[in-house]
Structure formats: C-alpha cells, structure tokens
Amino acid sequence: MIKLVELLVRRDGMSHEEFVDYWLNEHSPIAEEMPGLQKYVTSIPKDPERTEYDGVLELYFEDSEAMSAAFDSEAGERTLADAEQFLETGAGPRLVLDETIQLDDL
C-alpha cells in the first residue's frame, strides 16, 4: 500500500475556518472521484493557532502506478486545479510512503 501524506497550508487571505470548510465541503468530493483512491483521510489540528499547518492529508493507493494514474486522470487534474483555490501548493512537506500496518484495533 502506498500512502501520500501532505501537511497543508491555507492560501493567504483565507481564515483557518474558511480553509476547513472549503477543504471538507467543496474539495473533498472532487478528490474522492480519483480512480484507484482507496482511502482518503483529512485531519484538522485541534489548536490551529499553535501549528504551522492547517491540515494533514492522507491518500492511499494500491501501488505507485495506481497513484500516478489517479493524478494523471481527468479527476486527478480537476483535484489538483481545485487545490489552487484554497492551498499554498508545496508550502508544507509531502511524503510518499510504503505503509505497513502493525496494529489496527479500530
């Protein structure tokens, strides 16, 4: 399993609350349409004034090829274009990881 993790920073002139509202209600439904996307997780800081980031994004794919195909698709292009509406693209770190679950007791 491949996991993309990105620490997100809101665009200048946008409040944290506006960022969260747009991300969860406008952007997420677009991103969910990417082919091959198996899991989509959004995490919001409980105390945003004490962190450099406005959110943490986690996207899960079967493998690197599936991730590439998702972003190269029409839905992936729409997702990336829409991200420009509320993100400072590339402002936070981005990691592409091989994930191995050691314990999942949910």
pLDDT for 21-62, tens place per residue?
A: 999 999 999 999 999 999 999 999 999 889 999 999 999 999
pLDDT score of 106 more than 90: no
pLDDT score of 77 more than 90: yes
Task: Give the model's pLDDT for residue 84.
Answer: 95
Average pLDDT, the chain: 95
Query: C-alpha distances in angstroms, 22 versus 44, 50, 69, 77, 87?
Result: 13, 21, 25, 18, 10
6: helix, strand or coil = strand
Task: Give the model's pLDDT for residue 15.
Answer: 95
- Residue range 5-32: average pLDDT? 97
Task: Give the model's pLDDT for residue 24.
Answer: 97
pTM over 0.85: yes
pLDDT score of 100 more than 90: no
Region label for 46, one of left (φ > 0), alpha (ψ between -120 and 50) or beta (otherwise): alpha
Q: Distance between CA 81 and CA 103 in Å, rounded?
A: 36
